[in-house]
Structure 1
Amino acid sequence: MSGAAAHDPHALGHGEAPISERGPASKEIVVAYGFWIFILSDFILFSGFFAAYAVLVKETAGGPSGRMLFDLPLVAWETAALLLSSFACGMAGVAMLARNARWFQVAMGVTAALGAVFLALEVSEFVDLIGDGNGPDRSAFLSSFFALVGCHGLHVTLGLVWLTTMMAQVWAKGFREDIVRRVACFMLFWHALDIIWVALFTTVYLLGAGA
């Protein structure tokens, strides 16, 4: 037995190799770190859209402003659907930790259904605005509005595709380690979309309707 092992038979720290000699980090750490960078870059992307909207919100070119256009009850239903979908997504995470495939699929199915309701209401809002002649080409204000809200809607659409893929993988292969990592990344992405929508609902709809 070496001197280090004799003084530290349970490897409590004296025999530990320096950090520089321990080799590469585990895949779990690398994936989590990389995905956090992606999430932060997405926040930066939305910050640009928010900044553009803040600059152009009063540039209506003589057309209607948010106060005349925004249907707050409809947007409230959108918000409720997305927030409830985030709660269901959290329940799916609990089921995943318990390795309960049935409740995982149920919770993810509810998440998908509520996300689809959110998208349907948003598309309905866009169709009504464009049908009334208030499309993105009407004014700089509406261009920035459609760009910001539409970008969020596109993210939700991609999230739903990702969600159904994760459901299929868990159904086919179970809670394999790599699949659990992917599901955890999806849940982080979905909750981030919730945070962005709360900011969007407050700054665009609530402040716009009261301006």
Structure 2
Amino acid sequence: MPHESTAEHWGSEAARAHAAHLGMWLFISTEVLLFAALFTTYGVYRSVYPEVWREAQAHMDVTLGTVNTVVLVTSSVLVALAVHATREGRPGTGGALLGLAALLGVTFLVLKGVEYAGHAREGGLPGEWYRLEALPKPGASLFFSLYYLLTGLHAVHVTLGVGVLTVLAVRAAAGGFSASDHTPLELGGMYWHLVDVIWLFVYPILYLS
């Protein structure tokens, strides 16, 4: 339960939780605007270099991208189940589910690292480091620059999310949450779902379209 002074400051536990959720929604809005700008930039350059974009996408590892999508969606489901379990008074189960979700987040990052290594070996690097002999056309290096920008920024968010989930899992296992007091868990879940939704936009435009 929150300290009495904290409860008095906000007026009630409900008001404190509402303020925390509002703050998270504002944060999510800024993240949506950031990635919306990047997606728009990607779309503009795709319209300028349509043929090159299609050829560059042929060098994407669709299998790894698809596996990572399944991994991230599964982790998001586990987080939702963790919140549900905690609301029902089973914080221990919630902590275990959060731990599994964090492990899947690490799996996502490892697979992304494998994919990056493959691109590096064939020369599909950003900017002045671009050396992909199979696709020497103008605009190809720009595709890979945007690819690394989008996926790299998303990977940073995944890394932060794994840290958040790990902390929440430890707190849950230690009895830090209850059916009536689990706002941090809900906020962490909101952030992780944001990471998942962003990837569900990144995946099709880079690997499938």
Both proteins in one fold, TM over 0.5? yes
Amino acid at match of 1:41: T
Could you tell me whether the CA contact under 8 Å between 2:76 and 2:101 is conserved in 1? Answer: yes
- Structure 1 residues 1-211: aligned runs within 5 Å: 26-57=15-46, 65-137=55-127, 138=130, 139-175=141-177, 180-207=182-209
Normalised to the residue count of structure 1, the TM-score between the two structures is 0.79
User: Any idea what the Cα deviations from partners look like across 1:24-81, whole Å, max 9, x if unmatched?
Assistant: 9821111111110000110001111112222234659x89943331111111111110
User: Any idea what the Cα deviations from partners look like across 1:106-163, whole Å, max 9, x if unmatched?
Assistant: 2112111211111111111111101211111221111111001111111011000011
Amino acid at match of 1:47: A
Query: Taking every aligned residue pair, what percent have the same amino acid on both sides?
Result: 28
Could you tell me whether the CA contact under 8 Å between 1:59 and 1:141 is conserved in 2? Answer: no
Normalised to the residue count of structure 2, the TM-score between the two structures is 0.80
1:169 positional shift: 2.1
Gaps of at least 5 residues in structure 1 are: 1-22
Q: Name the residue aligned to 2:7.
A: none
Could you tell me whether the CA contact under 8 Å between 1:85 and 1:114 is conserved in 2? Answer: yes
Gaps of at least 5 residues in structure 2 are: 1-10, 131-140
Structure showing greater radius of gyration is 1
Q: When the two structures are aligned, how many residues end up with a matched partner?
A: 184
